[in-house]
Amino acid sequence: MKQVSIVIPAYNEEGNLEKIFHEIDLVFNNLEDYNFEIVFVNDGSRDNTQAVLEDLASKHAEVKYIEFSRNFGHQFAVKAGLDEAEGQLVISMDADLQHPPRLIPEMIKKWEEGYDLVYTIRKYPKEISFFKKKTSNFFYKILSSLSDVELEKGSSDFRLMDRKVVDNMKTMSESDVFLRGMVKWMGFRQYAIHFEADQRFSGSSKYDLNKMLKFAFTGITSFSVKPLYMAAYLGFFFSGISLLYIPYVIYAFIAKTEISGWASLIMTIVFFGGVQLIILGIIGSYLGKMFKQLKHRPTYIIRSKNF
């Protein structure tokens, strides 16, 4: 029998845990050669998630849980699950059933065919807001153009990893975790499965706009230094323009044509003041990342676990 660990981050997901356990249990009833365990990671939930998990664990030996000391965020919760899971295969998926367990047999089949990593790309269902779809596609476009890893739009954190992929992942000690990029960066034999995401079963999305923007920003700054070089390109561009403008100003001075300066002066100052602050901010955010990394803090703290 081969052991499959399923890592499920849960932040205020009390209504979904039982359901997802039973769905996964059903799937594995039909998979003869595989045993499963579920590693739930309670990411500092404020509802009854922990109680539900303890109850589930007391009834089913396959249920394991890790409780964080506070909310560390989705990516860290998945990371913790990967660090602790012991299966020969590890699958990470969301708790809200948007990642359908029925895909698991197909993923495992691909692994049997020799792929080390089976990741999934979601097509959004019609019900998902236009705004979320557009912002998400925009993000993947920017990320792909800025960074060295190519991420397909709709990449999700529903994936199957071979033990050797997980072991390599464990050696990556980044303080900002962006799993989609890290996994892509690692290489190995990867296979993509396309699927249509289901509706969230219970509760509401935990990714508000703020978290989404943060996530996007981490994704870009963790995988690219191109924003840092943007200053140089802008510098060349504006120097080029000034080379055209300066002769005109000299000519106007010599020819003593009346030049009214106030409006253009203010505009230039405000504009370049803004550009410079943005560039400083970009440099600052990389500096901040280095600072965070240098502190060598653990990326998450476990309050309790049952294994």
The closest of 53, 10, 52, 3 to 28, measured between CA atoms, is 3
> What is the rounded distance in angstroms from the CA atom of residue 72 to the CA atom of residue 54?
20
Closest approach of Mg ion to the CB of residue 244, in Å = 52
d(CA 138, CA 156): 15
In the list 96, 116, 157, 162, the residue contacting Mg ion (rule: CB under 5 A) is 96
Question: Could you tell which of Mg ion, ligand UDP, none binds residue 101, using a CB distance below 5 to 8 A set by kind?
Answer: none
Select the span of 6-14, 43-51, 94-102, 278-286 touching Mg ion (CB under 5 A).
94-102
With 0-12 / 13-18 / 19 or more C-beta atoms within 10 angstroms meaning exposed / middle / buried, residue 192 is: middle
User: 173 is in the binding site of which of ligand UDP, Mg ion, none (Cβ under 5 to 8 A by kind)?
Assistant: none
For 121, residues 6+ apart whose C-beta sits below 8 A from its C-beta are 152, 153, 154, 155, 156, 192, 193, 194, 195
Which of residues 73 and 87 has its CB atom nearest to ligand UDP in the complex? 73
CB of 94 to ligand UDP, least distance (A): 4
By CB neighbour count within 10 A (0-12 exposed, 13-18 middle, 19+ buried), where does 4 fall?
A: buried
Q: What residue ranges bind ligand UDP (CB under 6 A)? A: 9-11, 13, 43, 71, 73-74, 77, 94-96, 98, 205-207
Could you say whether residue 98 binds Mg ion (CB under 5 A)?
Answer: yes
HSE-CB of 220 using CA atoms within 13 angstroms:
19
140 binds, among ligand UDP, Mg ion, none (CB under 5 to 8 A by kind): none
Minimum CB separation of residue 191 from Mg ion in Å reads: 23
Q: In terms of DSSP H, where are the helices of 11-65? A: 17-29, 49-59
The site partner of 136 among ligand UDP, Mg ion, none (C-beta below 5 to 8 Å per kind) is none
67 binds Mg ion (CB under 5 A): no
Site of interaction with Mg ion (CB under 5 A): 94, 96, 98
